[in-house]
Amino acid sequence: MRPLFLAAFAMLAACNPVDTNQQAEPQAERQVAPILTTPDARDDQSFAQPQVARVTHIALDLDADFQARRMAGTATLDIQAADGAQEIILDSKGLEIERIADGEGRPLQYALGAGDERRGQPLTVRIGEARRIAIRYRSAADAEALQWLTPQQTAGGRHPYLFSQGQAILNRTWIPTQDSPGIRQTWEARITAPEPLKVVMSGERLTPEGEPAGEGRRAYRFRMNHPVAPYLIAIAAGDLAFRELGPRTGVWTEPAMLDRVARELADTERMMDAAEALYGPYRWGRYDMIVLPPAFPYGGMENPTLTFLTPTLIAGDRSLVGTVAHELAHSWSGNLVTNAVWPDGWLNEGFTTYFENRIMEAIYGSERAAQEAALSWDEMQNALTELGADSPDTRLHAAGQQLDASNSGIVYDKGSIFLRTIERAVGRERFDAYLRSYFDRYAFQPMTSARFLADLRAELIRGDAALEQQLKLDQWVYQPGLPDNAARPDPAAFAEVDQAVQAFGAGGPASSLAFPQWNTAERIRFLNKLPRELPAGRLDELDRTLDLSASGNAEVLFAWLQLALANRYAPAVPAAERFLLSMGRRKFVSPLFETLVNEGEWGRPIAERIYARARGGYHAVTTETVDRIVRGPAESN
Ligand code: BES
Ligand code: ZN
């Protein structure tokens, strides 16, 4: 602990007013996480002033109203405040506040201040002496964190569905709290929903079967006793079934999906063991997953104890379970040690991408891991080319500000390659020992780039001037482009595939490709390395011979469609349309629309036609990005 940088308020349990909220435990028993007060830890995407007053615990008591598409009820917040503090500032986006009261039910004054489209509004509450406040409110019908699905948008087709996505700053659309990753909070929740829906959340389930809550509704209660960044509070409700995978692991999904999903994710328990062997104990109890309907906008989201996953991972051959390793790895990098501010997002995602690859190596061997690392290198190179190697957006520190496809090659891939570079320089054993101690020493704390570098210097480099010079730490973190000491991928990883690319590029026939025998990574590498311009005849030959438009692997299909559409290959349009109507994962949806729009008079009408049909099924995260591509910046929102 570095007391200079930490501001952990003294516990104020003694002056806590009478506990009128039946759910809440006494404040004094809970762990309160420190906040950082250095300038680099100042979060300008939140209105909170945590040095004045901060939330330590949230108790939600909400009804999921599927008719109105709103969450409605009460959020009771426990607060620590500096001496003399008169108010607390929360984040709110579209919340309709009905009443705010203190712990004894006396109304408190509050005001929604001036905000902006991105961040929402500051909700300032005059707390006076109150250290517990109860907010009666409901979320807006278009809350961006929440997606309310019709039965038609689910696999079963019979029941509606709800899921949330908090990262990065969306949870303020359904939870009135300080929505900043550096302000960790414990939480508990009681959620009511119509029968027969089941409710799951990213915490311990206290009522597995739910409890009767009147009028055909059931109540489900949850608790998270570790302080977490508020973006990690998540909910899903629907016709859900559960299958155990191992002693600590299991999966939720719709009944129709359960068998396929359980088979695909069967290696998860072993991944957990491998992760623990690398970086120390898993501290969250269970590790369950939920495979959501296809509208889920991400590949995966590391909600504690309950990773959220896209169904596009279910390829039938476990070829895409790197995403499971990734979300699991976030249980250390991200959920245990958390970027204090989003511009330092590489501390979550770069560490996790490195850790993911180490888990993949432990479970599936060094060849598969080397291939996935080589694909990650390609992603980084593409990002550097697209952004320009001298662009400030290629700096690790800062790149996370806007976390999307345009810079994931920096945040994820340059970030992980940085760590790989350190690993190679000091040796795996030493680096593993360092990382393990890093997670132990900073567990449940916020992190910044500067804090990490200071720790690395103190604990790993320890004044070794030659090593310091060799690593180029500041260049990696604060400068654009790629330092020349970057750990390169194994050139043997795709030797055969790259030869095949050459042969095909030189006019060789598709029929002589070993593509049918290749694994998914090899197929992706092949498609991504083909010349970007190919005549229709050659695309036709590829499609017919390799049956690409019919690929059941979402990553392979995506790589193919990118190539085909960029070449105005019309026979691939029906497959693209089917794909874009079948799921809403932004990583696939947004580049495909972009490719179409870039093909002007040929592609734009196709993009507009498909988007008109597909948009209603997409999550706000996806439409926010695609609106800008298809409708143009002026017309978005
Ligand atoms: N935490 C991210 C998802 C995320 C990133 C949500 C930025 C909101 C803003 C998650 O861990 C992730 O990285 N998902 C990836 C998969 C991964 C294997 C690269 C995804 O969704 O594709
Ligand atoms: Zn991630």
Q: What average pLDDT score do residues 96-105 get?
A: 98
Q: Ligand 1, closest atom to CA 345?
A: 7
Instruction: Provide CB contacts within 8 A for 96, sequence distance 6+.
Output: 137, 138, 139, 140
Q: Write out the E strands in 18-159.
A: 35-36, 53-65, 70-81, 87-92, 96-102, 110-112, 121-126, 132-138, 146-149
What amino acid positions are annotated as catalytic residues? 327, 412
pLDDT value of residue 402: 73
What mean pLDDT do residues 30-59 have? 95
Distance from residue 105's CA to the centre of ligand 2 (Å): 41
Mutate which of 144, 298, 320 to test ligand 1's pocket (most atoms within 8 Å of Cβ)?
A: 298
Q: What pLDDT, on the 0 to 100 scale, is given for residue 520?
A: 98
| 144 CB within 6 A, ligand 1 | no
How confident is residue 398, by pLDDT bands cut at 50, 70 and 90? confident
> In this structure, which ligand is nearest to the CA of 588?
1
The pLDDT assigned to 399 comes to 80
Please choose, from the candidates 135, 140, 121, the residue with its C-alpha nearest in 3D space to the C-alpha of residue 60.
Answer: 135
Residues 263, 99: Cα–Cα separation, whole Å: 48
Asked if residue 576 lies in contact with residue 550, where contact means CB atoms within 8 angstroms, the answer is: no
Would you state the pLDDT for residue 19?
35
Q: What is the mean pLDDT of residues 90-96?
A: 98
Q: What's the pLDDT at 400?
A: 73
CA dist 588 and 313 (Å) reads 12
Q: What is the mean pLDDT of residues 383-390?
A: 96
Q: Is 181 in the pocket of ligand 1 (CB under 6 A)?
A: no
Average pLDDT over residues 329-345: 98
Position 20 pLDDT exceeds 50: no
Ligand 1 lined by 326 (C-beta under 6 Å): yes
Neighbours of 309 (CB within 10 A): 27
Q: Does the beta carbon of 300 sit less than 6 angstroms from any atom of ligand 1?
A: yes
Return the pLDDT at 403: 64
Q: What is the DSSP string of 213-251?
A: -STTEEEEEEEEEEEE-GGG--EEEES-EEEE-SSSEEE
Q: What are phi and psi of 530, to 5 degrees?
A: -60, 155
The pLDDT, as a whole number, for residue 227 is 98
* Residue 23 confidence (pLDDT): 45
- Given a cut of 50, whether residue 278 has pLDDT beyond it is yes
Ligand 1, from 169, 296, 301, 404: best to mutate by most atoms within 8 Å of Cβ? 301
DSSP secondary structure string for all residues of 277-341: HHH----SS-EEEEE--TT-SSSEE--TTEEEE-GGG--SSSTTTHHHHHHHHTTTBTTTEEESS
**Helical (H) or strand (E) element with 520:** helix 520-529
Residue 450 has pLDDT above 80, yes or no: yes
Query: Over the stretch 531-552, which tens digit does the pLDDT of each residue have?
Result: 999 999 999 999 999 999 999 9
Q: Report the pLDDT value the prediction gives residue 406, as an integer from 0 to 100.
A: 73
Instruction: Express each pLDDT in 182-233 by its tens digit.
Output: 999 999 999 999 999 999 999 999 999 999 999 999 999 999 999 999 999 9
Take atom 14 of ligand 1 and give the residue whose Cα is closest: 300
Specify the ligand 1 atom closest to the Cα of 167: 8
The 10s digit of each residue's pLDDT in 478-495 is 999 999 999 999 999 999
Q: Going by C-beta distance under 8 Å and a sequence separation of 6 or more, which residues neighbour residue 371? A: 493, 494, 519, 521, 522, 525
Beta sheet of 121-126, edge-to-edge order: 87-92, 121-126, 110-112
**Contact at 8 Å (CB) between 106 and 60?**
no
268: helix, coil or strand?
Answer: helix
| Separation of alpha carbons 552 and 520, rounded Å | 11
**CA gap 520, 375 in Å, rounded:** 11
Distance 21 CA to ligand 1 centre (A): 36
587 lines ligand 1 (CB under 6 A): yes
Q: How far apart are CA 628 and CA 612, in angstroms?
A: 14
Please check the confidence at residue 633 and state whether its pLDDT lies above 90: no
Q: How far apart are CA 126 and CA 135, in angstroms?
A: 13
- Residue 299: CB within 6 Å of ligand 1? yes
What b/e string do you get for 497-523 counting C-beta neighbours within 10 Å, with b at 16 or more?
bbebbeebeeeeebeebebeebebbbb
Distance from residue 27's CA to the centre of ligand 1 (Å): 33
Supply the pLDDT for residue 195: 98
Beta-carbon contacts of 348 under 8 Å, excluding residues fewer than 6 positions away, are: 330, 333, 334, 338, 339, 400
CA 153 – CA 293 distance, rounded (Å)? 7
Q: Whose CA is nearest to atom 16 of ligand 1?
A: 299
Model confidence at 133: pLDDT above 60: yes
CA 407 / ligand 2 centre spacing (Å): 13
Of 11-20, 31-40, 149-158, 367-376, which range is least confident?
11-20
Once rounded to an integer, what is the mean pLDDT over residues 367-377? 98
Q: Please give the Cα distance from 234 to 289 (Å, whole number).
A: 12
Q: What is the mean pLDDT of residues 422-447?
A: 98
Query: Directed axis angle between helix 322-329 and helix 346-364, to 10°?
Result: 130
C-beta 400 within 6 A of ligand 1: no
Does residue 61 carry a pLDDT above 90?
yes
- How far does the centroid of ligand 1 lie from the alpha carbon of residue 412, in Å? 9
pLDDT (average), residues 31-38: 93
Q: Average pLDDT, whole number, for the chain?
A: 94
Q: 147 is written with which tokens?
A: 């997606």
Question: Which pair of structure tokens corresponds to residue 226?
Answer: 């570790």
- Predicted confidence band at 405 (pLDDT cuts at 50, 70, 90)? low
C-alpha 106 – ligand 2 centre gap (Å):
43
* pLDDT higher than threshold 50 for residue 22: no
* Neighbouring residues of 318: CB distance < 8 A, sequence distance ≥ 6: 264, 266, 267
pLDDT band at 30 (very low <50, low <70, confident <90, very high): confident
